[in-house]
Amino acid sequence: MIIIAEAGVNHNGDLEKALQLIDEAASAGADYVKFQTFCSEELVSASAALADYQKQNVTETNSQLEMLKKLEIPIDWYPMLIRRCEERGIRFLSTGFDKESVEFLLKFSPDFIKVPSGEITNYDFLKFVGSCNKKVILSTGMSTMVEVKMASKLLIEAGLRSTDLIVLHCHTEYPTAFSDVNLMAMKSIAEDLRVDIGYSDHTSGIEVAIAAVALGACCIEKHFTLDKTLPGPDHKASLDPTELTQMVIAIRNVSEAIDGTGLKEPSAVEIKNMVAARRSLFARSNIRIGEIMLKEKLVAQRPGSGISPMDWSQIVGKKAKREIQKGEILKSEDFE
């Protein structure tokens, strides 16, 4: 199970906040803390307006370019961010939004290249990512199944092995309404593409991420922030550090609970409880020597150290070989 704590742009252009986000992600027990690497001028045009959800959280401008320019990570931050990750025992990731950004990130030998939802129709970018000889995590917000298949095909044709691809179901709205999650689409992706699947969660709370794990997700990505009241596009739809910790604990627990053989059989710790919890056959009344055993003279009671009530036919109709007192546990050798 891979848990990615998505810091994204929630550092607000403040190095100290970025370092604190790493600390909180590590304390929560996430596997990765992930930022975003982009060049604003390459990503958006001067005429690009804010998305509706961004307008609700960003009041000082209606320009994507102006907003994102303040949220770029300076080049000289990266060694400090990576060093902090190493010190805190968490792995560093960043989403590259263009070829140059991915090439820059490759210098730090990341475990994955993360392709954001907005780039799933970016032909040249996908071909480049597929050729990088790195595992890829592909987010699929706003996508149809046809688009997901096309993007996956491009990555694989460029050299990516299908076993090195994780496709994340995602819904690009912040926050995502529960009625829009459509979590079963994640399973459809797994069935159609035969790849590992996960979920990039933009809902409020932690329930859907946990449900995704129960449905087979091997990777969960979730935005988090130091403070939901901070200005910026993503803070309000993010988890706070306490919620992030709760989510990680719940995911680890659920992941462990579903990681079994699939066979219905008692575990080793259950076997020792069988005697205490199951029943055996006892005498409901006194039974004389030579008396024919009738079912009416049986009662099933704990402990389960004698004849199972399922095996009552083994002694009913047989003669008692000894005097049996009411309340005694019955044994097969007591009858002939």
Per-residue pLDDT of the chain (336 residues; tens, 9 = 90+): 999 999 999 999 999 999 999 999 999 999 999 999 998 888 888 888 887 777 776 757 768 888 888 899 999 999 999 999 999 999 999 999 999 999 999 999 999 999 999 999 999 999 999 999 999 999 999 999 999 999 999 999 999 999 999 999 999 999 999 999 999 999 999 999 999 999 999 999 999 999 999 999 999 999 999 999 999 889 999 999 999 999 999 999 999 999 989 999 999 999 999 999 999 999 999 999 999 999 999 999 999 999 999 999 999 999 999 999 999 999 999 999
pLDDT for res 59? 58
Give the C-alpha distances (Å, rounded to integers) separating 190 from 21, 105, 162, 204: 32, 28, 12, 25
Give the C-alpha separation, 185 to 151, whole Å.
16
Domains of the chain, with CATH numbers? 2-258 (3.20.20.70), 268-334 (3.90.1210.10)
Q: Which two tokens stand for residue 60?
A: 């000082």
Give the C-alpha distances (Å, rounded to integers) separating 71 from 11, 40, 92, 145, 264: 8, 9, 18, 32, 52
pLDDT for res 249? 98
pLDDT for res 179? 97
Q: Which two tokens stand for residue 104?
A: 């820059």
